[in-house]
Chains A and B, each alone.
Chain A
Amino acid sequence: MVESLLAIGIIASIFVGFNIGGSSTGIAWGPPVGAGIVKKTTAAALMTFFVFLGGWTVGRNVMDTLSEGIITIDLTLTAGVAVLFFIGLGILIANIFGVPVPTSMTTVGAIAGLGLATDTLNYATIAEIVSWWIVTPIIGFWIGGIIGRYIYPEINRRVQIEKSNGPLLTLGGDGTIPKPTFGPNTTWAELGTTVVVLVIGCYMAFSAGASNVPNAAAPLVGGVGGLPDDTAIIIATLAIGFGGFTIARRTMESVGGELSDIPLLAALFVMVTASTITTLLSWIGIPISLVMATVMTIVGIGWGRATRPITFREAVTRDTGEPEIVPGAITAEEMEGKPAAPIGEEEPEEVLKAGDLFNPRAIMKYISMWIIGPSVSTVLAYGFFILIPGIA
């Protein structure tokens, strides 16, 4: 009985891990793959390794929260398997209807529903988690806002991300020892960029492991007949890696495709911010959705940039690709019949306003979309465990 239950649990866990692998590989590696800096297979391999690293180290703190923090008793294997089914259901709904369902939040919602139904909910812990969930998007949005408003435009002016044709490095050398040399068109700047992009992708993979491995692993470790932590982490990693090598080929284009509408430099800022938020929270044992941290940072950047008044300096240097026409920039614009907007004020009506893309109402609607998923999972799990009390 316990064996077959465990087998069902492992299958459910693999399903969950597989899907997590698909979506988080898309987010972590979509931009670099889209920019042609990394191959899909390389991305999947790096993903698997760093997900394992994140799950094995920081992820354990989140696992503890999930399996023994949210509810006052240990999560039993039966209940764990039921919780996995709710996580899987959330993923299915996300896949079929194309709605964002943050997995980490669904997991907590399902376990909290179980706690409510069996009267074992640890209110102090859940209150702490929920307050982080409220604060984190605000932090992400705010950091994104600062980046979009002040940092990105400055850096963007100075940094050029390039990708030349031909291989980055080739193996050459005259003797018996092969010596890597630059490819035909490689420059130091390009090599540097590639290294930075790779490091950031690995960092995001690490944070994906820290926050997401526990979702697939924690439900399996509890109670009599459950798996040891290490085994569960390895199974979850393999499932995520499997997803990374298979369905991520598609998600790197769909999720990553949306991300690659954003300039790579901005995407790198998003990745660093979201990974840092996710890793830090996972470190203190708070389950947090990497996807949610990512989108809040993205929206923050958009908002920060959209609400940015036009400064004098920018008004002067705007639209001037060639340095030689900088001194006459304002005159040149006027001659084209395009009067420059008064400094710091709204542009004339026929010019499109970024504010239309990020008005407060649209942002609120957008954020609310991310709250629906976990709320529904709590209610569903509560109903389920009330109706079928034997499971818990």
Chain B
Amino acid sequence: MLSRILVPMDDSEHASHALAYALENHPEADITVLHVVGVPSMMMGEAVGLTLEDDISEAAAERAEPVFERAREVADEHGREINTIVGIGHPARNILDRAEDYDTIVLGAHGADWSRATRRFLVGNVAETVSKRSPVPVILVH
């Protein structure tokens, strides 16, 4: 029985599918949605914008809110509650750093906008990196 599940989400449709999968298949589990903001990008706009804020944690939470809102909508459809946490910087590193605290990780196999080479170069394939290095089992949702 999996009791603690981490569902890392970006703003893609796949991420919502992954969450729905986790909710459906693990009705008893404690589900935590992680969203990472300030992800490296071509002009580093979001990352720099974050560092210039007085309170990074608060600013990061604010930027993550739209994704959490969507996650809560998905959870509502299943009549469930979820926990949320915000990370900053590199998505895969954020996920791996927290992996130990969970029994499993459920994530969408494709993130947002993979056609952009810059993103692929700077961020890499999150699903691939996580499933390769995670200390706990990883479920990829296609």
Contact = CB atoms under 8 A, between A and B. Distances in A.
Interface in B92-136: 93, 115-119, 121-122
A362 B40 contact: yes
Interface in B28-74: 38, 40-52, 54-57, 60
Contacts of A266: 48, 52
Contacts of B54: 318-319
Interface stretch (A179-187, A200-208, A254-262): A254-262
Nearest to A100: B42
A357 B116 contact: no
B88 interface: yes
B17 to A, nearest CB: 24
A260 B45 contact: yes
Contacts, number: 105
| Contact count band on B | 20 to 34
Interface in B75-89: 86-89
B43 A357 contact: no
Contact of A262 (B45, B86, B87, B119): B45
A262 B55 contact: no
A59 interface: no
Contact of A98 (B50, B51, B86, B119): B119
A298 B56 contact: no
Interface string A86-120: 00000000000111100000000000000000000
Interface of B: 38, 40-52, 54-57, 60, 86-90, 93, 115-119, 121-122
Interface of A: 97-100, 148, 152, 156, 255, 257-263, 266, 294-295, 298-299, 301-302, 305-306, 318-319, 351-354, 356-359, 362, 365-366, 369
Given A294-B43, A354-B88, 14 more contacts: A97-B117, A152-B52, A260-B45, A261-B48, A261-B49, A266-B48, A302-B44, A302-B47, A318-B55, A352-B88, A354-B50, A357-B50, A366-B40, A366-B44
